[in-house]
Amino acid sequence: MAKRNAAAHPESLMMSYGYKPEWSEGALKCPIFQTSTFVFKNAKEGKAFFEIAYGLREKGPTEKLGLIYSRLNNPDLEILEGRLALWDKAEAAAVFSSGMSAISTVALEFLRPGDVLLHSEPIYGGTDYLFNHILPRMGVRVVSFSANGASDGIHKALKTLKKGERPAMIFIETPANPTNLLVDIAACAKAAKELSTKNRRVLVAVDNTFLGPLWQRPLEHGADLVLYSATKFIGGHSDLIAGVCLGSQELMTRVRTLRTFLGTMASAWTGWLLLRSLETLKLRMTCQMKNARHVATYLANHPKVERLYYLGSLDPSTPQGKIYQRQCLAPGSVISFDIRGGEKEAFAFLDALKLVKLAVSLGGTESLAEHPGTMTHADVPPAEQKRMGISPKMVRLSIGVENPGDLIRDLEQALKAAA
C-alpha cells in the first residue's frame, strides 16, 4: 500500500490513496475486483500467504499478506480499509457486510461466557437485540446505563456489579438514536482503564454512525474500537448495506481473523461503491450539516414544535453541552422533534411530506422522516420508550443535500397539514 502523504487531508486522498493505475492497465479508477479467488505465482508463494493469513508464523519485516480468496482479502476492500483509516486516524480498519455484522463480530471476538458487557441506552434496535437476547444465551451478562446527560452513568452501572464479576467491554452509542443524547467517551475510557488488569484489558467500543467520521473521532478520546453502519453517512446514497470497524493493528488483527471465519466481510461490489462514496464524504456531510442547521433554526421557532433534539442547540453550560464541546466537531444532520399533540399529529405531518420521504435509515443524500415510537423503536416496550424520552409525538429527520429552502417549505406545509 502507498505511503501516507502526511501533509494531505483525508478529503484530498480519497481519490487515489492506496491504488496504483499500473496495477490495472492504467485505469484511473480502481476497478471492481469481482473475483472469488486469486492466482498464486507459484506454490511457495501460496504457502507463504497462508502461513501469514492463518498466523502460523510472524510476518517478515517487509513481507505483505498476498491476495488469497475474497473472504480473507480483496483489493477493493483493502484499498477501502486504508482510506477509511485515514478519517479516524486509525491503524487499521475492516469492512463488513452490514453495521450489524461489524458489531456482532466484535462482540463475539471480545466477549466470553462469564463476562459483563456494559452498554449505553438507548442503543440501535438491532444492537439492543443482539446484546439483550443473543449474548445472554452465551453466558454474557449485559448491563445498560442511561445516556442521561452527565458523565456518571457508567460509574453508576459499575456500582451495580457483583463482587468477582468481570467487565470486558463498554459499548456506547453517541449521540444516541433518536434523542441525540451524548455519552462521554473519555469518561468511559477512563473507567475502562481503571477496570483493566495486567491480564485483562477492558475495551471501549463506540458506535459512531451518527456523527462520524467527520464530526466525532472516538479514538482521540480514548476509545479502543470505532464502529459504523456504513449504510448511513459513509455509503451516503441509501443504496447499500455495509459496516466498518477501526482500531489498533493488534485489535483489528483479531477482528479480521474472526471476520474471515464468520464470513461477515463486504463484497467487492459494495467495497467499490463505498470507495466512490468516500470521494464525496466531506462534501456530503458538510452540506447535510449546514442544511440541518437551517432546518433546526426553522423548527426551533415554529409554534407546532414543542421540543427540539438537536446537538447544535445544546447550552454549553449544561452537562450535555460540555460533552458536546469536548467531543464533537459539529452537530451533524439528524434532528428529532416533538410535535404539539400526539401520534395523530405526528402521522399527519409525516403523511403530508412531499420532498422529504417517509422511510427509516439516515445519512443519505435525500432527506428522510420517520416516527421512532412506532417504527425504528417499535420493539421497545412503552414504559422503556418513556424512560428513554421517546414519545408518540416524536419525529426523527435525517437531512440530505437538497436546497434548504425547499426542505423548509416542505416541512412548513406538512406542519400546517398536521393542524
Smaller CB separation from ligand PLP, 16 or 385: 385
Please classify residue 321 by burial: count the beta carbons closer than 10 Å to its beta carbon, then call 0-12 exposed, 13-18 middle and 19+ buried.
middle
Of 262, 271, 276, give the one whose Cα is nearest residue 365: 276
For position 222 contacting ligand PLP by CB under 6 A, the verdict is: no
For position 235 contacting ligand PLP by CB under 6 A, the verdict is: no
Smaller CB separation from ligand PLP, 102 or 415: 102
Query: How near is the Cβ of 412 to ligand PLP at its closest, in Å?
Result: 28
Q: Is 276 part of the annotated catalytic residue set?
A: no
For position 207 contacting ligand PLP by CB under 6 A, the verdict is: yes
Query: How near is the Cβ of 88 to ligand PLP at its closest, in Å?
Result: 16
Among 76, 128, 184, 207, the active-site one is 207
Tell me how far apart the alpha carbons of residues 79 and 98 are, in angstroms, rounded to a whole number.
18
For position 128 contacting ligand PLP by CB under 6 A, the verdict is: no
Stretch that binds ligand PLP, among 120-128, 142-150, 281-289, 313-321 (CB under 6 A): 120-128
Per the omega criterion (within 30 degrees of 0), is the bond before 122 cis?
yes
**What interhelical angle do 319-327 and 185-195 show, nearest 10?**
80
Smaller CB separation from ligand PLP, 229 or 336: 229
Q: Which residues pair with 116 in a beta bridge?
A: 141, 167
Query: How near is the Cβ of 395 to ligand PLP at its closest, in Å?
Result: 17
The three cell numbers of residue 393 are 409525538
Residue type, 229: S
Q: Is 290 part of the annotated catalytic residue set?
A: no
Of 76, 97, 106, 78, give the one whose Cα is nearest residue 240: 97
Count of H-run helices and E-run strands, the chain: 14, 12
Tell me which of 124, 233, 324, 347 binds ligand PLP, using CB under 6 A. Answer: 124
For position 209 contacting ligand PLP by CB under 6 A, the verdict is: yes
Among 71, 254, 304, 322, the active-site one is 71
For position 122 contacting ligand PLP by CB under 6 A, the verdict is: no
- CB within 8 A of 182, min separation 6: which ones? 147, 174, 175, 176, 311, 320, 323, 324, 327, 328
Smaller CB separation from ligand PLP, 66 or 126: 126
Query: How near is the Cβ of 99 to ligand PLP at its closest, in Å?
Result: 2
User: Coil, helix or strand for 385?
Assistant: helix
Tell me how far apart the alpha carbons of residues 208 and 245 are, in angstroms, rounded to a whole number.
10
Using DSSP bridges, classify how beta strands 243-247 and 305-309 pair: parallel, antiparallel or unpaired. Answer: unpaired
Query: How near is the Cβ of 60 to ligand PLP at its closest, in Å?
Result: 37
Q: Is 207 part of the annotated catalytic residue set?
A: yes
Q: How far apart are the first and last CA of the chain?
A: 58
Find the binding residues for ligand PLP in span 89-118 (CB under 6 A).
Answer: 98-100
For position 126 contacting ligand PLP by CB under 6 A, the verdict is: yes
Tell me which of 104, 174, 177, 277 binds ligand PLP, using CB under 6 A. Answer: 177
For position 15 contacting ligand PLP by CB under 6 A, the verdict is: no
Tell me which of 10, 243, 400, 404 binds ligand PLP, using CB under 6 A. Answer: 243
The three cell numbers of residue 208 are 459512531
Residue type, 334: V
- Compute the half-sphere exposure of residue 226: CA atoms within 13 Å on the CB side of its CA: 30
Among 141, 217, 232, 284, the active-site one is 232
Smaller CB separation from ligand PLP, 385 or 398: 398
Smaller CB separation from ligand PLP, 123 or 268: 123
For position 173 contacting ligand PLP by CB under 6 A, the verdict is: yes
Select the residue whose beta carbon is closest to ligand PLP and give its number.
99
Residue with cell 486516524: 89
Which whole-number Å values give the CA distances from 227 to 126, 138, 210, in the listed order? 14, 22, 11
List residues near ligand PLP by CB under 6 A. Answer: 98-100, 124, 126-127, 173, 177, 207, 209, 229, 231-232, 241, 243
Query: Which residues are identified as catalytic?
Result: 71, 124, 207, 232
